[in-house]
């Protein structure tokens, strides 16, 4: 792979996938500054791994593998996992639809209750990635991805019900 | 709870702060640069030491032998260290997470003892080299004083290395502990029911 080709593919991947990768970072982490750090780490690893991409899998699957693995090894230096909480990105423009905004906040809070691996799986699911691809990304079987997703959905549903009923 | 499709819509349409490509290029430029500079400085120092040795101690066979040992030991330490750092930077992040986590744990746990053994072996070579260089210099001092100088220098060198290794190990333990803990938890979670 020539340098020019590497740069071209990288720019294309960056433009096409930055939103999805940043959402994955938001699903996994809890602060805007950390999201930036993790995103940069992911893109650095993508750049380094690009010459070894052989096209065995879809490039998005390959990209999400790197993103997930980087997220796994990303060190939360100042905060233990129990303190995870939801933060919205203050720098972004507000959602026009208030109801949607509330639902999104609730979804973020529900995701934050999950364990590290489940947060990654659910963010991949919310990105519309198939069970097969999630299995390819994580290295677990498709059946187990299915089992996990059923459990995660139940947990999310229970949390959202509790919050909604508590608020009512 | 809203159906999955609806949640996916909300999720995908959430507002996000923009991240431009320029910042990413800057981050790529910075990547690994500091460590390369430190390692290059070590090599420059070694070059300076060689120049100093030959200008101050001459080119007698003993000095040349001593300097050769010194360079071999020191170069081995620096280059191995450099290779290890490059290895960590080259970890294959594109493998499925189960394999990735196993390899990352092996990398964190594995090389410490072997590296330490090699490090001490190389330090002993450096120490022998240094003693040969000092010995090659003609001196009118009493043999006992010369022996004490050799002993003192060796003790200083190995003592400083022991302190350095201990500090390095302590720093690694502190830095790696959270990552290791996280990786172990992830490994257990991923393999909990691998069908």
Q: Which domain holds residue B81?
A: 33-191
**Interface touch B97/A137, C-beta < 8 Å:** yes
CA–CA min distance A106, chain B (Å): 10
A166 contact B CB<8A = no
What residues of chain A lie within 8 A of the CB of B106, using their CB?
Answer: none
SS3 A153: helix
In a domain, B26, yes or no: no
Does the interface ipTM go beyond 0.85?
no
Tens of pLDDT, residue by residue over A51-97, are 888 888 888 899 999 999 998 888 655 454 444 444 445 555 555 56
Instruction: Looking at B90-142, list the stretches that DSSP marks H as alpha helix, in order from N- to C-terminal side.
Output: 97-109, 112-136
> Which residues are within 8 A (CB) of B113 and not within 5 positions of it... i.e. 6 or more apart?
none
B11 contact A CB<8A = yes
B24 contact A CB<8A = yes
A72 contact B CB<8A = yes
Instruction: Looking at A29-141, list the stretches that DSSP marks H as alpha helix, in order from N- to C-terminal side.
Output: 32-49, 59-73, 98-112, 116-126, 131-138
**Interface touch A75/B178, C-beta < 8 Å:** yes
> Which residues are within 8 A (CB) of B135 and not within 5 positions of it... i.e. 6 or more apart?
B62, B66, B146, B150
How large a percentage of chain B has pLDDT more than 70?
Answer: 86
Environment class of residue B138 by beta-carbon count within 10 Å: exposed (0-12), middle (13-18) or buried (19+)?
Answer: exposed
In whole angstroms, give the CA distance from residue A26 to residue B24: 18
**Interface touch A117/B190, C-beta < 8 Å:** yes
Tens of pLDDT, residue by residue over B89-146, are 667 888 888 888 888 887 776 555 555 678 888 999 999 999 999 888 877 778 889 8
Would the pTM count as exceeding 0.80?
no
Query: Domain segments of chain A: what residues?
Result: 3-167
pLDDT of residue A78: 45
Range name among A11-15, A71-75, A105-109, A136-140 with the lowest pLDDT average:
A71-75
Region A3-167: CATH code? 1.10.1740.10
In whole angstroms, give the CA distance from residue A36 to residue A15: 16
Count of the separate structural domains present in chain B? 1
B30 contact A CB<8A = no
In a domain, B28, yes or no: no
């Amino acid at each position: 792979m020539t340098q020019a080709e590497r740069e071209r593919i990288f720019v294309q991947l960056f433009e096409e996938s930055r939103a999805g990768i940043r959402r994955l970072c938001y699903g996994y982490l809890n602060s805007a500054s950390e999201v930036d750090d993790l995103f940069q780490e992911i893109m650095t690893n993508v750049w380094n791994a690009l010459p070894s991409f052989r096209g065995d899998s879809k490039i998005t699957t390959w990209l999400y593998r790197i993103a997930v693995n980087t997220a796994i090894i990303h060190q939360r230096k100042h905060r233990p996992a129990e303190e995870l909480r939801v933060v919205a990105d203050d720098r972004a423009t507000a959602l026009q639809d208030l109801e949607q905004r509330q639902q999104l906040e609730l979804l973020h809070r529900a995701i934050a209750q999950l364990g590290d691996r489940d947060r990654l799986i659910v963010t991949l699911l919310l990105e519309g990635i198939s069970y097969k691809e999630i299995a390819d990304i994580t290295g677990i079987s498709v059946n187990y991805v299915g089992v996990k997703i059923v459990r995660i959905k139940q947990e999310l549903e229970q949390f959202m019900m509790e919050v909604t009923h508590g608020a009512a | 709870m809203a159906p999955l499709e609806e949640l996916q819509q909300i999720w995908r349409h959430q507002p996000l702060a923009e991240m431009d490509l320029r910042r990413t290029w800057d981050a790529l430029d910075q990547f690994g640069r500091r460590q390369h500079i430190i390692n290059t400085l070590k090599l420059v120092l070694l070059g300076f030491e060689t120049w100093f040795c030959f200008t101050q101690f001459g080119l007698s066979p003993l000095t040349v032998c001593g300097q050769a040992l010194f360079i071999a030991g020191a170069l081995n330490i620096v280059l191995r260290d450099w290779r290890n750092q490059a290895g960590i930077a080259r970890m294959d992040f594109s493998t499925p997470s189960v394999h990735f986590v196993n390899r990352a744990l092996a990398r964190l746990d594995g090389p410490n003892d072997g590296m330490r053994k090699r490090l001490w072996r190389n330090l002993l070579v450096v120490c022998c080299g240094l003693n040969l260089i000092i010995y090659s210099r003609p001196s009118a001092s009493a043999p006992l004083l010369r022996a004490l100088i050799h002993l003192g220098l060796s003790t200083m060198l190995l003592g400083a290395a022991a302190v350095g290794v201990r500090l390095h190990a302590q720093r690694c333990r502190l830095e790696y502990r959270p990552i290791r803990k996280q990786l172990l938890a992830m490994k257990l979670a991923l393999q909990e029911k691998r069908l």
